[in-house]
């Protein structure tokens, strides 16, 4: 549809979800939030999809909440109330989600980046937790951002609202890689190719394992992890993977990619 703000395309096992609202710097308007959540749900439910790529048109990845919609609204009617569901859908997706940034992210846009499993940006991209400078708190996005950032850096950047570049974003754990703009496509493609080779059940279980808090009980943790490992070794997917390895071929879940 010509008036949609989020596009979804599936090819070669990759669901590409594109934010396409450059007139307001891909801000999280009500329409964009609604369409993005639907695209994520459809991609997660689609058996042909192995990896989800979140990208954008225009010069800005995402400017955060649409402030025009937030003005004069009560706390109950603020669009931010819908953001936890959006971030949770990305964070808890059983399929890996990759963010590709050709330009800046601000506030809630950084929350999206942090919720993704892998994030790659062009070196020219910039970032800022700008909430405090307009008198609001980066509360909701902190749920996905704080697990990524070094604590000292989080205090500085959340409290000052200072703009920082992609190289610093990489150094503090927000990005996996900051690359020259000319290399952005190839860097993202490298991650997509590697992720698409993983068994879908194994990937989902590994993501769930990574989200778990580390228990204090070492023996209990080993017991849980042993059960998880043995189930997947003995499962259909694990058995197919081992056969494929022995036969020097790709497992049957690896999609055909151009």
- The structure tokens 């459809």 sit at 42
**Pseudo-torsion of CA 137, 139, 144, 150, nearest 10°?**
60
Structure tokens at 122: 């062009």
Catalytic annotation on 88? no
Question: What is the rounded distance in angstroms from the CA atom of residue 27 to the CA atom of residue 20?
Answer: 10
Question: What is the rounded distance in angstroms from the CA atom of residue 1 to the CA atom of residue 103?
Answer: 25
Structure tokens at 129: 């937790």
Would you call 179 helix, strand, or coil by DSSP?
strand
Orientation angle between helical segments 200-211 and 236-246, nearest 10 degrees: 120
**Per annotation, catalytic residue among 4, 76, 82, 131:** 131
Pairing type for strands 14-19 and 6-11 reads antiparallel
Orientation angle between helical segments 236-246 and 218-234, nearest 10 degrees: 70
Residue 97: CA atoms inside 13 Å, Cβ hemisphere, count? Answer: 24
Residues whose CB is less than 8 angstroms from the CB of residue 211 and which lie 6 or more positions away in sequence, other chains included: 91, 92
Instruction: Cite the active site residues.
Output: 131
């Amino acid at each position: 549809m010509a008036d949609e703000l989020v596009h979804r395309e599936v090819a070669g096992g990759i669901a590409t979800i594109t934010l396409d609202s450059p007139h307001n710097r891909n801000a999280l308007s009500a329409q964009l939030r609604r369409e993005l959540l639907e695209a994520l749900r459809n991609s997660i439910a689609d058996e042909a999809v192995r990896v989800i790529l979140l990208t954008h048109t225009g010069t800005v990845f995402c400017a955060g909440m649409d402030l025009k919609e937030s003005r004069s609204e009560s706390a109950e009617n603020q669009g931010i109330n819908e953001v936890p569901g959006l971030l949770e859908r990305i964070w808890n997706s059983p399929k890996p989600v990759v963010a590709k940034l050709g330009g800046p992210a601000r506030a809630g846009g950084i929350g999206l980046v942090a919720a993704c499993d892998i994030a790659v940006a062009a070196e020219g991209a910039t970032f800022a937790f700008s909430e405090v400078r307009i008198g609001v708190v980066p509360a909701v996005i902190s749920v996905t951002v704080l697990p990524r950032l070094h604590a000292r850096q989080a205090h500085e950047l959340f409290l000052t609202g200072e703009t920082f570049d992609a190289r610093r974003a990489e150094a503090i754990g927000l990005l996996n890689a900051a690359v020259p703009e000319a290399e952005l496509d190839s860097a993202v493609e490298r991650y997509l190719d590697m992720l698409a080779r993983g068994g879908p059940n194994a990937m989902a279980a590994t993501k769930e394992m990574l989200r778990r808090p580390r228990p204090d009980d070492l023996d209990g943790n080993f017991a849980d992890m042993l059960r998880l490992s043995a189930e997947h070794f003995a499962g259909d997917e694990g058995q197919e993977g081992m056969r494929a390895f022995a036969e020097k071929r790709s497992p049957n879940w690896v999609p055909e990619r151009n």
